[in-house]
Structure 1
Amino acid sequence: MEHEERPIAPSLGVDVVPVLTHALRARGQDTLTALLLLVLWTGFFAVDMASAPEGGPPVPIWSTAYAVVCFVHWSAHAAAGRGSAAYVVDKRTLRQALRGSGSPRALSVLLPVGVPALTLAYWVFTFWSLSQGVNNWVGIIFPLLLAVPVWMHRARVAAVMRAELGQETFAHLPRPFPTSTYHRRIAQAIDREQYAGLTIYDPSRPFIGMGLPYEPWSFALELKRRKGADTSGGSLAPFTGRTIVELIRPRLEALRQAAAATSRDRLKDLEIEEFVYLPVGPQRPQVAYDDHTVRRHLAESVNEGGEARRYFLRVRVGAWDEQVVVSVLVRVHTQGGMLVLEVVPHVLTPIRPEFRAVDVIAARGEEDLLRDGVRAFLTAPAAGFAAAVSTVRSAVSGFRTWLADPRRAVPDGPADSVRELAAAKEVSLFQEMDVSRYVKTVQDRIASGVRDALRSQGYETDQFEQQIVQISEGGIYIGAMSGGAVAQGAGAEAKHLTGSGGGGR
């Protein structure tokens, strides 16, 4: 929201507009909860000061003590990496979360025990003081009242998750769209950009939205005519990047058809499309994403091999219900008697577990009031402080946006992707095996397409076959690259042998 001058990154397997709509709705709910809590906290401090013993200073003892409890609860959640949401849905224990976030061992042991102990100490001391004749009803009633807005907030969020965000209901409901004029303008810009065949990029931040790079490689090959080949050129079409792309595409399509006919492998849903990256230039509203403009950029960039505008053939496999997305970007161009091939695989890792908790809540059905009330009471200390932090951040963000006036800012490329921000850091062993298989299979079809393109044009293929060798371990060895060698795959080793004309193991 603070950078309206930045276009959105390519959206792979996700519609960003509903994400934006529900995020704005959640922010509004957080703000409402924070305002209700602010009213209660104001009353808590006022009544606490008014009930101070006569003859002494009006010190808010109980409200201050409970504020410390709330701050410690929120700090523990923040240390565990749970953010500042008023509704915490992470199913991990605090100890597990702290261990996963790289916290010191002492902190991961102390906080899960110390936070409940501090809360228990507050309530024990409160009731003990009451039994001793101290008039401290304010220290009991207001903490219970502070749990009511959290209870209401949890009930509203759970109702939205059950009624609108469940897997069975989301697809059948109308597509949510922001209501305010400002946010509708942003949503309309997202609709133009997220599935277009071109995207704007910043040179220092390429491939935003594609995920993590997965062993990218490239090579340059001198084109040499095969002995005995017809060099008259009369029957041969010009050997260009488009020529090679048109030979690669049928092999990928055949791979998709074969997978669909013989198995349930995700390769049957393999997507093939042409894509072009444009450097930052005009203002965001001035960039055209219509079909005619996109086709023109694709036609002009496929053979130019320029540094700024870059053409790629994008091959995408959405596996594990779109939790693991493999994208292989292929760029090929022929200039100056050279063939240059660049293959850039990327992997989007699964959504973090806390985001998938919506499925658990949606499948749970109607909540038991007593059970949900107890949950609200136990999470109220952290949730109340989190709602306040979230509201303050929203206010600061809104002020910064107004101050910066991003519509008139210098044009810029995407800096983040919503899907990447929600992704986990690791994949399971099964998922890693699938990713490796998808990438190797697609790369094999790419290599065969390039080889056939060379043969059809009467060029030698021996050097090409020597430079790209697929072995049983799955490594790809590339030789004769600027006097060096590259070896890929687990346990691979590359050595440069002077005078050998290539790389070896």
Structure 2
Amino acid sequence: MSRVTRFLCAAAYNHRESFRAGILQRLMLPTERFLPPAYGVDPGAVAWHCVRAQRLDAARELAALAVLAAALWVEPVSAAFVVYVATALRLRSYWRQRLRLRVPKPSGVRQLAVPALTVIAALSLAVYVALLVYAVWSGLGGRVPWLAASSAPAVAAQAAGTWVLVGLPAGWGVVAAAERRVRRRRWREIRTAKRLGPPETRGLWGVIETSTARGLRRLSQLEQVTHVEYADDAFYGAGDELEQFPPWSFATQLRRRTPPAPPDVGAGHLRLVKPPEDSGPLLSHSDVIDAIREGMQRFRAGEARAGARLQQLTMRDYVFAPQGHPALISKRPAGDVLADEDEEARHMLGIRVGSWEEDLSTTTFVRATTHGDILYLEVSVRVLLPVQNQYRWSIRTIDAGMLNALRSIPSDILLAVPRHTWQLARRFRLMWGKEPEPAERSAAQAEGWDVPAPPLHINSLREQVAQPSPQNLFQRLDIERYVKAVEHRLISSVQDLLEHKGLESEEFSARVSQVFNTGVIINGGVQSGSIAGGHTVAQTNQTTVQPSTPSNPQTGTVSSPPPA
């Protein structure tokens, strides 16, 4: 299990109800087919803990109400203590939040909060037990010399309330003792397990129904299977587009390299020059993508030998299709769609540096298109930033020792209530025609023929907990290093391909120099003899690119042409 999954599982218990409601609303809606892959997060485990946390909150409220009801049957002194206990139970999240804000380090929480809460719980329980013993002893006719005898008849007359106070804490104590063992074992699993999930036939431990659990697992499996994805929100789930890395593209004309002229054979002899044969397109889309993939593999092998961070480089093919495309509905593999040469399906190669389990990862999407002797190269960068600090505190706070005796008694009162109660309520809801899905979802949509439109922007769970922007200098430097390393290796791979195919690479180098050195974004389109477009058309058209200008493919610099 990734660290982000453990953070979110712990945040289900340690954050506001809106956090859990937002997670469950996204994961359990019938439009789950539009959710992006999990990207390093186990959605089944997160949903299970969110549902369980909601039940525990409801059980805690039920326990507090039961204690308050029991206070109505006892004498004023005991009632005041019971009201105090019920209030402490209801304010559990409040005290935890104050401890987290006041104590900056987990070690401080362990050293200050745990002993203080333990002493308070021990004193409170001691007074509680003394009151119970006094009530029972007085009810049986016994006398306590050092206490006022006038209060004994009043306590004896309220024996029913006494037995309520005796039975309720005893039952909660047994439940709390068993619950602490279960919770400790559960958090050990969360820390160490690679994947938190039950057998598929049982659902997620009976908390989430099996059909929903299977849908959540499919989100994780989509990371390994390449399907056709929705094109109106391309690159969803892979991160955000940063201002310093805008998408760029350009077009260049492909020309065969002119062979050197043969030596002069003397006067009176004709020099025969064989024209080049027209053997079809100079370059294909698959040639460019394969060259980029091979270049990245060599780059990754070199980084692995050096032990650098860039050895965590992975590549995946993405195919995007418009709304209503048959391949989008039937979830056809991307390879089959590409084999059909469908013009509506757009193929891009995603190059990711850093695994989804890491704090920071960048994905560079590359698309190469050839039309006759024109090569179009399009690049877009997405950055997935680290997890916010508020979610990193979750596991540490829970591990800090909040499982004290007083507050853990009602925290899992649900374990004392049969789980079949919730199942029975769900069965009654289904009997009365309350379907879990919206009523407007038609039978055609249920069969997958009519796909509802997704929202304008779709975020993965990983994106929801990510930082909105880089927080420090080192994060910005890491992003810069990852993106530039991939882009320069990408450009050099295409240059090597042009050299291998016997094509001129000078114009390609000049176009690259325009993008990287002057920051001009060239989007394609022929204007005034130069291939340029976009919001910088005027600036680009003033710059005339000389196809024969020599360039240095290693540095990307273009030398000035000699004066006339």
What TM-score do the two structures reach when normalised by structure 2? 0.58
Provide the residue aligned with 2:37 in structure 1. Answer: 10
Provide the residue aligned with 2:16 in structure 1. Answer: none
Q: Is 1:193 the counterpart of 2:222 in the alignment? A: yes
| Residue 242 (structure 1) shift | 1.6
Provide the residue aligned with 1:296 in structure 2. Answer: 336
Aligned equivalents of 2:223 and 2:40: distance in 1? 10
Q: Is 1:267 the counterpart of 2:267 in the alignment? A: no
Q: Is the 8 A contact 1:6 1:411 kept in 2?
A: no
Match of 2:452 among 406, 411, 414: 411
Aligned equivalents of 1:178 and 1:351: distance in 2? 33
Provide the residue aligned with 2:363 in structure 1. Answer: 327
AA in 1 matched with 2:369: H
| Residue 327 (structure 1) shift | 1.7
| Residue 384 (structure 1) shift | 9.0
Provide the residue aligned with 1:26 in structure 2. Answer: 49
Q: Is 1:170 the counterpart of 2:194 in the alignment? A: yes
Provide the residue aligned with 2:262 in structure 1. Answer: none
Q: Is 1:44 the counterpart of 2:67 in the alignment? A: yes
Q: Is 1:256 the counterpart of 2:300 in the alignment? A: yes
Question: Which string of whole-angstrom CA distances, capped at 9 and with x for unpartnered residues, describes residues 267-314 of structure 1?
Answer: 33422232212334379995234xxx431223345x84x4xx321111
Structure 1 range deviating more: 262-271 or 182-191: 182-191
Aligned equivalents of 2:382 and 2:201: distance in 1? 31
Distance 1:381 1:439, change over 3 A: farther
Structure with greater strand share of residues: 1
Distance 1:480 1:189, change over 3 A: closer
Counterpart secondary structure, 1:466: helix
Provide the residue aligned with 2:247 in structure 1. Answer: 217
Provide the residue aligned with 2:495 in structure 1. Answer: 451
| Residue 449 (structure 1) shift | 2.5
Q: Is the 8 A contact 1:200 1:413 kept in 2?
A: no
Counterpart secondary structure, 1:437: helix
Q: Is the 8 A contact 2:292 2:494 kept in 1?
A: yes
Task: Write the mapping of 1:47-446 to structure 2, written as runs, cut at 5 A.
Answer: 47-51=70-74, 74=93, 93-94=100-101, 153=179, 155-162=181-188, 164-167=189-192, 169-170=193-194, 177=200, 179-180=202-203, 181-187=210-216, 189-190=218-219, 193-201=222-230, 203=232, 205-214=233-242, 215-223=245-253, 225=255, 228=258, 232-235=276-279, 237-260=281-304, 262-281=305-324, 287-289=330-332, 293-300=333-340, 304=343, 306=344, 309-318=345-354, 322-335=358-371, 338-352=374-388, 372=401, 375-376=403-404, 402-404=436-438, 408=446, 410-413=451-454, 415-425=458-468, 426=470, 429-446=473-490
Distance 1:31 1:147, change over 3 A: farther
Aligned equivalents of 2:275 and 2:303: distance in 1? 39
Question: Which string of whole-angstrom CA distances, capped at 9 and with x for unpartnered residues, describes residues 454-501 of structure 1?
Answer: 455665544432332399xx8783355526559xxxxxxxx9477234
Aligned equivalents of 1:148 and 1:354: distance in 2? 34
Distance 1:282 1:468, change over 3 A: closer
Number of paired residues? 429
Aligned equivalents of 1:354 and 1:192: distance in 2? 28
Provide the residue aligned with 2:519 in structure 1. Answer: 477
Q: Is the 8 A contact 1:275 1:311 kept in 2?
A: yes
Gaps of 5+ in 2: 1-26, 105-115, 132-146, 156-160, 204-209, 260-273, 524-532, 546-556, 558-564
Distance 1:501 1:436, change over 3 A: same
AA in 2 matched with 1:313: L
Among all aligned residue pairs of Structure 1 and Structure 2, give the percentage whose two residues are the same amino acid.
21
Gaps of 5+ in 1: 54-59, 81-91, 98-115, 365-370, 487-494
What TM-score do the two structures reach when normalised by structure 1? 0.63
| Structure of higher CA gyration radius | 2
